[in-house]
Amino acid sequence: MLKFTDVTKLYHTGDTALKDINIHIKAKEFVSIIGHSGAGKTTLLKLILAEEGPTSGTVTFEDVDIHKLKRSNINKYRRRVGTVFQDFRLLPDKTAYENVAFAMEAAGMDDEAILNDVPHALDLVGLKHKMHSFPDELSGGEKQRVAIARAIVNQPDMIIADEPTGNLDPVNTYEIIQLLKKVNDLGTTILLTTHNVGVIDNLGRRVITIKDGQVALDSHEGKYIL
Amino acid sequence: MIFTKIKRTVKSGAISFWRNGSVSLASVLILTVTLTVITMVLFSGVVLSSTLETIKNKVDIDIYFVKGATEDSILSFANEVKKNPDILDVKYTSRDQAYQNFKERHKDEEATIQALTEIGDNPLPASINVKAKDPNKYDSIVTFLKDKETALGNNNIIDKINYTEKNQQAIGSLNRIINASNKLGILIAIFFAIVSILITFNTIRLAIYIFREEVSVMRLVGASETYIRAPFVTVGILYGLVSAIVTTIILLPITHYAGNWTEKLGTGMNLFDYYRANMLMITAALVVGGTMLGAISSFLAIKKYLKV
pLDDT band at residue B164 under the 50/70/90 scheme: low
For A74-87, give the DSSP string: HHHHHHTEEEEETT
Confidence band for A28, pLDDT divided at 50, 70 and 90: very high
Mean pLDDT, rounded, for B25-54:
85
CA atoms within 13 A on the CB side of B264: 5
User: From the CA of A226, how many Å to the nearest CA of chain B?
Assistant: 30
Q: Which amino acid is at A155?
A: Q
Domain count, chain A: 1
CA proximity to A80, closest of A15, A155, A161: A155
Which residue in B1, B10, B221, B235 has the most chain A C-beta atoms within 10 A of its own C-beta, making it the best mutation to test that interface?
Answer: B221
Verify whether the Cβ–Cβ distance B222 to A79 is below 8 Å. yes
CB-based contact, B220 to chain A, within 8 Å: yes
Task: Kindly state whether B19 is in contact with chain A, defined as any CB-CB distance less than 8 angstroms.
Answer: yes
Which of A15-19, A208-212, B182-186, B258-262 comes out lowest in average pLDDT? B182-186
3-state secondary structure A26-58: CCCCEEEEECCCCCCHHHHHHHHCCCCCCCEEE
Which residue is closest to A52 within chain B, CA to CA? Answer: B308
Which residues from chain A sit within 8 angstroms of residue B19, using beta carbons?
A: 93
CB proximity B165 to A under 8 Å: no
Residues in A closer than 8 angstroms to B4, CB to CB, are 110-111
B228-245 pLDDT, tens digit per residue, is: 888 888 998 999 999 999
| Pairwise CB contact (< 8 Å): B220 & A77 | no
Q: Are A105 and B19 in contact (CB < 8 Å)?
A: no
The answer to which of A24-33, A103-112, B53-62, B265-274 has the lowest mean pLDDT is B53-62
Q: Which of A50-64, A125-139, A149-163, B265-279 comes out lowest in average pLDDT?
A: B265-279
Mean of all residue pLDDT scores within chain A: 90
Question: What is the per-residue pLDDT for B166?
Answer: 61
Q: How far apart are CA B242 and CA A10, in angstroms?
A: 50
> Nearest by CB to A93, which of B16, B217, B222?
B16
- The CATH number that applies at residue A67 is 3.40.50.300
Looking at chain B, the whole-number percentage of residues with pLDDT higher than 90 is 16
Chain B residue with minimal CA distance to A77?
A: B222
B218 touching A (Cβ < 8 Å): yes
- Which residues lie closer than 8 Å to B255 by C-beta, 6 or more apart? B43, B271, B272, B274, B275
Of A71, A72, A78, the CB nearest to B221: A78
Closest CA of chain A from B227, distance in Å:
7
Q: Find the residue in B nearest to A109 (Cα).
A: B1
CATH architecture of structural domain B67-156: 2-Layer Sandwich (3.30)
Domain interval for residue A219: 1-78+191-226
Write down the domain spans for chain B: 2-55+172-306, 67-156
The secondary structure of chain A in percent helix, strand, coil, rounded to multiples of 5, reads 40, 25, 35
Q: Is B227 on the interface with A (CB under 8 A)?
A: yes
Interface membership of B119 toward A (CB under 8 Å): no
Percentage of chain B beyond pLDDT 70 is 96
Instruction: For the beta carbon of residue A79, count every other beta carbon within 10 angstroms.
Output: 21
Residues whose CB falls within 8 Å of the CB of residue B210, separated by 6 or more in sequence, listed in order = B20, B23
Q: How many CA atoms does the CB half-sphere of A15 hold within 13 Å?
A: 9
- Calculated CA dihedral for residues B226, B228, B232, B238, nearest 10 degrees: 70
What are the residues facing A10 on neighbouring strands?
A16
Nearest to A91 among B4, B214, B219 (CB): B214
Of A108, A111, A150, Cβ closest to residue B221? A150
Give the pLDDT mean for B38-45.
85
Residue B171's pLDDT band (cuts 50, 70, 90):
low
- Is the pLDDT confidence value at B16 over 90? no
Q: Do strands A189-193 and A30-34 pair parallel, antiparallel, or not at all (unpaired)?
A: parallel
Is 70 exceeded by the pLDDT of residue A90? yes
Q: Residues of A near B (CB-CB distance < 8 A)?
A: 49, 51, 71-72, 75-79, 83, 89-93, 102-103, 105-108, 110-111, 150, 154
**Which of A66, A87, A89, A146 is the best mutation test for B, with the most CBs of B within 10 A?**
A89
**Residue A98 covered by a domain:** no
Residues of B in contact with A79 (CB under 8 A): 221-222
Among positive and negative, which fits the CA dihedral A96, A100, A103, A104? negative
What is the reported pLDDT for A226? 67
Contacts of B203 (CB under 8 A, 6+ apart): B26, B27, B30, B31
